[in-house]
Amino acid sequence: MSLHCTNKRVEEYIQQVNISLQTYTNSTKVITFHLIIYP
């Protein structure tokens, strides 16, 4: 039972990390885009 709870927490943590990575990647793309367009 506790193992299941731990797995659930790990999944939620991984989801949060994925969201953070996506946000970071999008921000980086936007910054790169601006650098390319406005050198």
**Model confidence pTM above 0.75:** no
18 lies in some domain: yes
State the residue range of the domain holding 26. Answer: 11-39
pLDDT in tens, 14-38: 999 999 999 988 888 887 777 776 5
Number of domains making up the chain: 1
Please give the residue that has the higher pLDDT: either 7 or 18: 18
Identify the band that residue 12 occupies on the pLDDT scale cut at 50, 70 and 90.
very high
Sign of CA dihedral 17, 19, 15, 18: negative
Q: Which residue has the tokens 């946000």?
A: 23
- Of the two residues 6 and 11, the one the predictor is more confident about is 11
Is residue 38 one of the residues assigned to a domain?
yes
